[in-house]
Amino acid sequence: MEKTNLQWFKEGMKNGIPIGLGYFAVAFTLGIVAKKAGVTVFQAGLTSFALHASAGQYIAFTLIAGHATILEMMIMEAIANARYMLMSCAMSQKLDSDVPTWKRLIMGYFITDEIFGVAVTVPEKLNPFYCFGMAAVASPGWVSGTMLGVVLGNVLPLRVVSALSVGLYGMFIAIFIPPARKNKIIAGIVAVSFALSFLFNQLPLFAGISSGIKIIILTVAISLGAAILFPVKDE
């Protein structure tokens, strides 16, 4: 029996709980950065709701602290968040052709690394309400975490804040480990991704490239190589 939109939404909310908890911890550290940049609680919360991007927001708060111009901020944000265009394109391949534009726009607005990672693991066609459910939990966690970070400032020790952020990386591991255990090709691609990512961050040649651009280059290169070497047959 085909699941209803409400069932998809509830399932998305359930799977979005660990994302929201991880976001709350990571966003808390961003709130501390925002406070040091002179950003108010409301401004920090509005920024989190508008961006939903840790790297993008860190750059924004850093530029604000450095009194950068609007143009500089626009250029840096476009570069740092360009990878979401790739995710949106990949996500669109899992949607039925009759999904209306307004639903696609909402999905694109709330797309993040984690929501994308969970959504693409759905074996059947993706229902937009699944992503809506995840966003309904993840987005408040991100916004409230940032605002609380501004309020509390440096009350918590730095070691405690750093420890809280580890949970998000644990969630990432939980996303790719199950398919990697079932498929040796996926496991090999994951290992290659780790190795190339490490090299990109260590080699002086790529020192001047932002993390967002590095992710795009690696994603396109590794995906293209995997598609050529290990093509998936159409069902």
> Residue 189: which residues within 8 A CB-CB, separation 6 or more?
222, 226
Name the pLDDT band for 95 (thresholds 50, 70, 90): very high
6 burial type by CB count under 10 A (0-12 exposed, 13-18 middle, 19+ buried): exposed
Average pLDDT over residues 92-115: 92
Name the pLDDT band for 135 (thresholds 50, 70, 90): very high
Decide if pLDDT at 74 tops 70. yes
Q: What is the pLDDT of residue 124?
A: 85
Average pLDDT over residues 54-69: 84
Q: Residues 139-156: pLDDT tens digits? A: 999 999 999 988 886 677
Give me the percent of the chain exceeding a pLDDT of 70. 89
Decide if pLDDT at 161 tops 70. no
Name the pLDDT band for 63 (thresholds 50, 70, 90): confident
Decide if pLDDT at 167 tops 60. no
Sign of CA dihedral 171, 166, 59, 28: positive
Highest mean pLDDT among 39-48, 71-80, 160-169, 177-186: 39-48
**Mean of the per-residue pLDDT values of the chain:** 85
Average pLDDT over residues 99-128: 91
Name the pLDDT band for 81 (thresholds 50, 70, 90): confident
Q: Looking at per-residue confidence, does 7 or 234 come out higher? A: 7
